[in-house]
């Protein structure tokens, strides 16, 4: 069987049109249609059925696709391993990361790594914790930068940093002129929170319970930046990491207060599949991330002593 035809089969099975798959394979649409019919003859069963204007997998096609996915994934991993053996300095690192880490931790990690290995390449994906965990489990990503231990039996997780969370309130809020506050002081106010599939949502709810109340959701969003904007607009309060860059001039920003009645932090870590033998570049990136985190912690310790 032709590998490119198998790749085109998978593309069509996952929703691409034959025309789109043909363009990706640098074939004409009739040529790919003929190739898919030859594939069906080799398999001995119809793999697609026409539903309206699109092709859908038959039951036989669904079974076949599971094995095609496995074959192509193994082949791609093998090709990648060969490339990294021939040119170890230019290997690819498939890395998934949490939205809120894309503005500060991820750029510094990549910059530092590429200073040592300038030819290294990254394949990046971002999303919620649940989405990112799936990319790790299905082999799409080698590594995952996330908050909190995923707690999955197949995953190894190492803490990199402990990130403080602050009580974010609107600029005109009754607590806005203070530097510290108890979380319990906003128990009756609406909380601007991430959706339930996001780890920071669970952290927020757990910390509020420790402070003696259940937070009332005023809005549920997908990204920390959205939460900051809605807090600044006066729609509620939130528990958030402080931004790692200055707010643009003229834009309203929340006020950030240190919480005194409970310890408000979240763990930031790196994860990978325990049973998988990682390529050399991904193993080096883990070591780099751990070294970077240790250097940041040491710098913060020195700064605290100087103060």
Domain termination residue (choose one: 39, 59, 85): 85
Domain termination residue (choose one: 66, 85, 104): 85
Q: What is the mean pLDDT of residues 129-154?
A: 90
**How distant, in Å, are the alpha carbons of 36, 92, 94, 142, 223 from that of 122?**
33, 6, 6, 11, 23
| In a shared domain, residues 155 and 281 | yes
From the number of C-beta atoms within 10 Å of its C-beta (0-12, 13-18, 19+), residue 91 rates as buried
For the stretch 60-108, pLDDT in tens is: 999 999 999 889 888 887 877 777 666 666 678 999 999 888 888 999 9
3-state SS track over the chain: CCHHHHHHHHHHHCCCCHHHHHHHCCCCHHHHHHHHHHHHHHHCCCCEEEECCEEEECHHHHHHHHHHHHHHHHHHHHHHHHHHHHCHHHCEEEEEEEHHHCCCHHHHHHHHHHHHCCCCEEEEEEECHHHHHHHHHCCCCCEEEEECCCCCCCEEEEEEEEEECEEEECCCCCCCCCCEECHHHHCCCEEEEECCCCHHHHHHHHHHHHCCCCCEEEEEECCHHHHHHHHHCCCCEEEECCCCCCCCCCCCCCEEEEECCCCCEEEEEEEEECCCCCCHHHHHHHHHHHHHHHHHHHHHHHHHHHC
Q: Is the pLDDT of residue 288 over 90?
A: yes
What's the pLDDT at 220?
A: 93
| In a shared domain, residues 129 and 256 | no
| In a shared domain, residues 158 and 271 | yes
Q: What is the mean pLDDT of residues 16-36?
A: 91
| In a shared domain, residues 124 and 189 | no
What's the pLDDT at 119?
A: 85
| CB neighbours of residue 271 within 10 Å | 22
What's the pLDDT at 231?
A: 96
Number of domains into which the chain is organized? 3
| In a shared domain, residues 150 and 194 | no
Mean pLDDT of the chain: 89
Domain termination residue (choose one: 22, 51, 85): 85
Higher per-residue pLDDT: 299 or 174: 174
| In a shared domain, residues 53 and 93 | no
| In a shared domain, residues 147 and 282 | yes
What's the pLDDT at 88?
A: 60
β partners of residue 257? 167
pTM: 0.69
Q: What is the mean pLDDT of residues 192-200?
A: 87
CA atoms of 35 and 206, how far apart (whole Å): 56
| In a shared domain, residues 274 and 244 | no
For the stretch 115-133, pLDDT in tens is: 988 888 899 999 888 888 9
| In a shared domain, residues 196 and 181 | yes
CA atoms of 29 and 193, how far apart (whole Å): 48
| CATH number of domain containing 62 | 1.10.10.10
| CATH number of domain containing 201 | 3.40.190.10
206 — pLDDT class (breaks 50, 70, 90): very high
Q: Which of 266, 261, 268, 255 is nearest to 296 (CA)?
A: 268
What's the pLDDT at 127?
A: 85
Q: Is the pLDDT of residue 249 over 70?
A: no
CA 270 and chain centroid, separation = 11
CA atoms of 127 and 96, how far apart (whole Å): 8
Which residue bears the tokens 């990361």?
97
What's the pLDDT at 197?
A: 78
What's the pLDDT at 250?
A: 61
CA atoms of 240 and 266, how far apart (whole Å): 10
Label the pairing between strands 54-57 and 121-127.
unpaired
Q: Which residues, at least 6 apart from 138, have a Cβ–Cβ distance to it below 8 Å?
A: none
CA atoms of 28 and 115, how far apart (whole Å): 43
| In a shared domain, residues 134 and 276 | yes
Q: What percent of the chain has pLDDT over 90?
A: 63
- State the residue range of the domain holding 55: 3-85
What's the pLDDT at 170?
A: 97
| In a shared domain, residues 272 and 157 | yes
What's the pLDDT at 301?
A: 57
Q: Is the pLDDT of residue 112 over 70?
A: yes
What's the pLDDT at 171?
A: 95
What's the pLDDT at 8?
A: 92
Choose the weakest-confidence range: 3-12, 48-57, 150-159, 167-176.
48-57
Q: What is the mean pLDDT of residues 151-176?
A: 95
Extract the tokens encoding 67: 């094995």
| In a shared domain, residues 113 and 170 | no
For the stretch 252-287, pLDDT in tens is: 899 999 999 999 999 999 999 998 888 888 999 999
Q: What is the mean pLDDT of residues 15-43?
A: 91
- Supply the Cα-derived Rg of the chain in whole angstroms: 24
CA atoms of 103 and 244, how far apart (whole Å): 7
CA atoms of 145 and 272, how far apart (whole Å): 9
Q: What is the mean pLDDT of residues 44-56?
A: 88
Q: Is the pLDDT of residue 173 over 70?
A: yes
What's the pLDDT at 199?
A: 83
CA atoms of 242 and 245, how far apart (whole Å): 9
């Amino acid at each position: 069987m032709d590998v490119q035809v198998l790749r085109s089969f998978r593309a069509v099975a996952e929703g691409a049109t034959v025309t789109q798959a043909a363009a990706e394979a640098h074939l004409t649409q009739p040529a790919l249609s003929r190739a898919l019919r030859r594939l069906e003859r080799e398999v001995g069963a119809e793999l697609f059925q026409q539903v309206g204007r699109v092709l859908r997998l038959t039951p036989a096609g669904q079974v076949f696709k599971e094995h095609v996915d496995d074959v192509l994934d193994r082949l791609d991993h093998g090709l990648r391993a060969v490339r990294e053996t021939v040119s170890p300095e230019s290997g690819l690192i498939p890395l998934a990361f949490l939205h809120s880490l894309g503005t500060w931790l991820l750029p510094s990690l990549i910059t530092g790594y590429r200073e040592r290995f300038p030819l290294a390449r990254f394949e990046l994906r971002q999303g919620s914790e649940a989405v990112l965990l799936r990319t790790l489990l299905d082999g799409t990503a080698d590594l995952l930068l996330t908050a909190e231990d995923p707690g999955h039996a197949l995953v190894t997780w190492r803490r990199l940093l402990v990130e403080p969370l602050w009580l974010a309130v609107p600029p005109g809020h009754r607590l806005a002129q203070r530097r510290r506050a108890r979380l319990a002081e906003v128990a009756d106010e609406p909380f601007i929170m991430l959706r339930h599939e996001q780890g920071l949502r669970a952290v927020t709810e757990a910390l509020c319970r420790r402070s003696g109340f259940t937070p009332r959701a005023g809005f549920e969003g997908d990204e920390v930046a959205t939460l900051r904007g809605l807090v600044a607009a006066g729609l509620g309060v939130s528990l958030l990491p402080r931004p790692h860059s200055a707010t643009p001039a003229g834009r309203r920003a929340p006020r950030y207060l240190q919480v005194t009645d409970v310890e408000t932090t979240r763990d930031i870590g790196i994860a990978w599949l325990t049973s998988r033998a990682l390529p050399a570049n991904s193993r080096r990136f883990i070591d780099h991330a751990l070294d970077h985190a240790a250097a940041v912690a040491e710098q913060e310790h020195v700064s605290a002593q100087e103060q």
